[in-house]
Structure 1
Amino acid sequence: MTSASPASAHVPGDTAPLVELAGAGFAYEDGPWVLRDLDFAVTEGRALVVLGRNGSGKTTLLRLLSGGLRCAAGELRLAGTPVGHDRKDLTRLRTTVQLVVQDPDDQLFAASVEQDVSFGPLNLGLPEPEVRARVAEALEALGIAGLRDRPTHQLSYGQRKRAAIAGAVAMRPRVLVLDEPTAGLDPQGQERLLGVLGTLRGAGTTVVMATHDMDLALRWADDAAVLTPDGLRTGPAPALLTDPELPAVAGLRRPWGAVVAEVLRAQGLLGPDEPGPRTAEELAGWAGPGRAGGG
């Protein structure tokens, strides 16, 4: 396990952090500190990716951020106000921040998809018409309205992933936190899920995602936070994730886009400070007639 020294995932700007960990630390019982002196903030409207090798503390960070774990040091803040541990504060947090865990089978428990998705809103004490509206909205957003009555144990893995996310979306959170959401999905399933996340972002949901996939991170994220043995490195995703020193420090492989940019610069087709393509589609569009021969 590694420790994170003071750093921030908040990108400076006019918008104050929506949810943040301030000086946070956590250690499991009779174990070493997993995270320590961690400052981590999420700014509304940004897509933030969290990366790090196994054991770096990514899942612990997400659980602290969503209130699933309690800080052993420091505090969790919502819109600048510390979050306590009474029912009122935790309800306020869970209507703002929702976590979707990596394995959907750890989250789905009801007999049918509709019952599972309705659990959170019902737990808030919302009236039945409001619950029905939220469930319908969430199922439609995740593209699984036709699975409303399906027993959860009869869903495919990708369908279970989307059902678990629908349960979080039905709470109408301002921040959706996802732990390895594309793990175990085939390429088509990944594209479908990324499309869903794009729709949710377009509707105003801020998304935080932990992943090992550097190509996905570079393609998808506005900002990145990387847990390393020396602390937390943060910054705009295109710059941070293409830093040639990052893989050795963080135990991650270089993203595809960084390798392509290096080749293009070596061929004189890309300026030293010019950003390279982040996806194959961008490369195809970028390498047009105006670029041929370095022109």
Structure 2
Amino acid sequence: MREYILETKDLSFKYPDGTKALKSVNIKIEKGKKISFIGVNGSGKSTLFLNFNGVLKPSGGSLIYKGNAVKYNQKSLLELRKNIGIVFQDPENQLFSASVYQEVSFGAMNLKLEETEVRRRVDEALKNIGMYDYREKAVHFLSYGQKKRVSIADILVMNPEVIVFDEPTSSLDPKHSSQIIDIFDDINEKGITVILSTHDVEIAYSWSDYIFVMKDGEIVKEGTPYEIFSDDKLINECYLQKPLILETFENLIKSGKVKSTETIPRNKQELFQLINA
């Protein structure tokens, strides 16, 4: 039986200037899965994410966490934000402490934990993102990619059940993007539900268990990576691109060079295996 950790029911949000950023969004996110949200800028992804942990309060509808509708009092919001962490697109908007250790320890200290537990959590979070050797380094001396990692550790130290990443690989080169995705896989293997928004269709296709497509504040389709990216009409209407792996596979099928469609490749290795077979 599927267990849903986060749901929205007819969730809507309108900004003070009257912009309707979300329109009756209904989604269910399965616990422990890797989830991607895709769509052009302005489709509502970031606004939805800020509703996920109570930074924004919906204008209508409800957010449901582990079967219970979220209440917007201080105690409930603190509990929600402890369990659902957001890593913003630009780490400069999240990092504010002098050193890496001070930065990552801040959240754990706010939980009123014993000092030994704070140190244990900080050390573990920094090791998980490959930044333990930089723990005493000044934050402003870090590279952009290193700052991205520290912003992830900021959330990991809270021991959340869900981590939400807004455009986590933007402004990163392919090598560092790949390293960030490896970190997501490690996080997910620990049982944490990982949610991200991305414009990178290659990442969405190869990494995700499930994808939601947004357009104009609405969910226009949801499904497995293949269900999403094999829908040519959807790709055109939502200004997306077909992932190169899937496009290559479909052309091989059309040309008769590959006959079996039982295994649909999700990455280069699977595609090469199919061709060699």
Structure 1-normalised TM-score?
Answer: 0.90
- Asked whether the 8 Å contact 2:6–2:30 carries over to 1, the reply is yes
Alignment match of 2:220 (pick from 232, 236, 245): 232
1:194-213 equivalences under 5 Å are 194-213=181-200
The alpha carbon displacement at 1:88 in A equals: 1.8
The alpha carbon displacement at 1:41 in A equals: 2.1
Q: Does 1:191 align with 2:210?
A: no
Alignment match of 1:243 (pick from 213, 217, 231): 231
SS of the equivalent of 2:232 reads coil
The alpha carbon displacement at 1:124 in A equals: 1.5
- Asked whether the 8 Å contact 1:50–1:224 carries over to 2, the reply is yes
- Asked whether the 8 Å contact 1:25–1:73 carries over to 2, the reply is yes
Q: Does 1:138 align with 2:140?
A: no
Residues 206-249 of structure 1 deviation map (CA, whole Å, 9 limit, x = unaligned): 10010001111001001000002464311112221222222112
Alignment match of 1:280 (pick from 260, 268, 277): 268
Q: Which amino acid aligns with 1:158?
A: G
Aligned to 1:293: none
Q: Does 1:265 align with 2:253?
A: yes
Q: Which amino acid aligns with 1:184?
A: S
Aligned to 1:17: 4
- Asked whether the 8 Å contact 1:242–1:255 carries over to 2, the reply is no
Structure 2 distance, partners of 1:226, 1:98, is 22
The alignment covers a number of residue pairs equal to 276
Structure 2 distance, partners of 1:278, 1:138, is 29
Moved over 6 A (4+): none
Structure 2 distance, partners of 1:191, 1:32, is 36
- Asked whether the 8 Å contact 2:53–2:77 carries over to 1, the reply is no
The alpha carbon displacement at 1:15 in A equals: 2.1
The percentage of counterpart residues that share the same residue type is: 36
Structure 1 distance, partners of 2:155, 2:245, is 32
Q: Which amino acid aligns with 1:284?
A: F
Aligned to 1:181: 168
1:73-84 equivalences under 5 Å are 73-84=60-71
SS of the equivalent of 1:143 reads coil
1:103-142 equivalences under 5 Å are 103-142=90-129
The gaps in structure 2 that reach 5 residues or longer are none
Q: Which amino acid aligns with 1:51?
A: I
- Asked whether the 8 Å contact 1:261–1:275 carries over to 2, the reply is no
Structure 2 distance, partners of 1:63, 1:269, is 46
Q: Does 1:36 align with 2:32?
A: no
Q: Which amino acid aligns with 2:186?
A: T
Q: CA RMSD in A?
A: 1.5
The alpha carbon displacement at 1:138 in A equals: 0.3
The alpha carbon displacement at 1:273 in A equals: 5.1
The alpha carbon displacement at 1:90 in A equals: 1.0
The gaps in structure 1 that reach 5 residues or longer are 1-13, 291-295
Q: Does 1:26 align with 2:21?
A: no
SS of the equivalent of 1:251 reads coil
Aligned to 1:161: 148
Q: Which amino acid aligns with 1:15?
A: R
Structure 1 distance, partners of 2:187, 2:219, is 31
